[in-house]
Amino acid sequence: MTINIYNTLTRKKEKFAPIEPNRVKMYVCGPTVYNYIHIGNARPAIVFDTVRRYFEYKGYQVDYVLNFTDVDDKLINAAKELGEEVPTIAERFIQAYKEDVGVLGVKEAVHHPRVTETMDDIISFISTLIDKGHAYEADGDVYFKTRSFDHYGKLSHQSIDELRSGARIQVGEKKQDPLDFALWKQTKDGEIAWDSPWGKGRPGWHIECSAMAKKYLGDTIDIHAGGQDLTFPHHENEIAQSEAANGTSFANYWMHNGYINIDNEKMSKSLGNFVLAHDLIQKHDPKVLRFFMLSVHYRNPINFSDALLESAKNSYDRIENALTNLEHRKEASVNLADDNQQWLDKINALQQQFEQEMDDDFNTANAIAVIFDLVKEANVYLKSDHTHVAVIDTFIDTLTAWLEVLGIPQTQEEELLDEEIEALIEKRIEARKNKDFQLADKIRDDLKERNIILEDTPQGTRWKRG
Ligand SMILES: [Zn+2]
């Protein structure tokens, strides 16, 4: 079955057709790293990680790129306030981001490009735009000539005239048209800067994503994603830059996640309802937080409150309880049941349904409803006197696989490193030499539990991951 994605560009659900078979080139706009992230930033991290996980579950390889904006006005101001250097602050909050979203089950991107490490590509991208007549230099700054790109406004569905009426040239800006936007900004004295053909300066915000997507994924990518608030102007500007420079379509599918409200109000610093993910994960089980975030479809707004989080915890506990009960019964199961096939068919039908919901624009809200249907069936099954280990195992495996797709994995154990495995194999050889076969067998069994298979050959012990 194909995955259908709601595409902001066409405002329709479309069948996903990748550029290359079984591969997804996916770019997600990442954070500006001048502070801890708030839960509004945690939502795209979780949502698009789930999209990635589902693609992987369906057998796709996902080239997942998420950038770090490690130089911009916010960082420069933070550096002034704290009396620190920009790179020091950036490094600190990149690590904090990775830790916080890591705890929330978000996998590391395949590439995490930073502006400061992509400077050559950014400068050459801007030069191409100037050469092609889509950008101009104005006294050390460089601007994109918005009217030179015919399709400006196509993502946010606005006409250039509508946009024109709302645009102003701010004091100190050297642009020719209010719609033009900065690609390169001349440095003020003492600020962090890079050499360029236009003098010392730093990039505007939008250009980094165009340059990074091109560098890591090519001229045309499958999916570009980010928060709804980025649709305009950020993503509109990315399209203009990339399509003007590359002469081809930039992204085939545009995905945007909805906002988060706190106690039914918009989150803002002035309202004092600003919630940092960093603080939340100290107070609440990160698995419940992730479960809560996914219990609403990603395009809908989410309302966040302690009461809602508490009720999410109660729901989530029902899933974990079912799993624990299934695990317990596994040991006590006998092979007497004769209604196995009927139960396996029921689980299989739910499996189809789970995938149908996820195929439908990653509808995690409905997929979670299917999880509860499975939990209900499992609880009915557990009441029966005759349970079969094959059915119990299928319940467990199905539930575990679904939770893995949602990024709520149940295995706490870290994957063993190669060196650790080899050290254990050495220990087992030692044990066998000392005729301590009990220890030797225990090591083999422990490794097997962690999916490491040993094979004794005349040349010695070989191992592989199961
Ligand atoms: Zn971006």
pLDDT in tens, 240-288: 999 999 999 999 999 999 999 988 888 777 777 778 999 999 889 999 9
Specify the CATH number for the domain of residue 124.
3.40.50.620
Q: 300 lies in a domain? A: no
The CA 165 to ligand 1 mean position distance, Å, reads 25
Length of the chain: 466
450 pLDDT band (50/70/90 cuts)?
Answer: confident
Query: Which residues crowd ion ligand 1, with CB under 5 Å?
Result: 29, 209
The CA 59 to ligand 1 mean position distance, Å, reads 27
Q: What are all long-range contacts of 369-374, with beta carbons under 8 Å and residues at least 24 apart?
A: 370/402, 371/319, 371/399, 371/402, 371/403, 372/315, 372/318, 372/319, 374/347, 374/350, 374/398, 374/399, 374/402
User: DSSP class of residue 235?
Assistant: I
Residue pair 377/350 in contact (Cβ under 8 Å)? The answer is yes
Q: 96 lies in a domain? A: yes
Do 146 and 209 lie in one domain? The reply is yes
β-strand pairing of 12-15 with 141-144: unpaired
Do 341 and 375 lie in one domain? The reply is yes
Q: Which helix (H) or strand (E) holds 222?
A: strand 221-227
Do 141 and 55 lie in one domain? The reply is yes
Do 232 and 359 lie in one domain? The reply is no
Q: 297 lies in a domain? A: no
pTM: 0.87
Do 363 and 237 lie in one domain? The reply is no
The CA 208 to ligand 1 mean position distance, Å, reads 7
CA distance 310 to 142: 51
| Residue 411 confidence (pLDDT) above 60 | no
Do 386 and 419 lie in one domain? The reply is no
Provide the number of structural domains found in the chain.
3
Q: 340 lies in a domain? A: yes
Q: Residue 318 belongs to what domain range? A: 305-405
By CB neighbour count within 10 A (0-12 exposed, 13-18 middle, 19+ buried), where does 182 fall?
buried
* Averaged pLDDT for residues 308-327: 95
Which residues does residue 202 pair with via DSSP β-bridges, in sequence order? 185
pLDDT at 391: 94
pLDDT in tens, 342-363: 999 999 999 999 999 999 999 9
Do 130 and 181 lie in one domain? The reply is yes
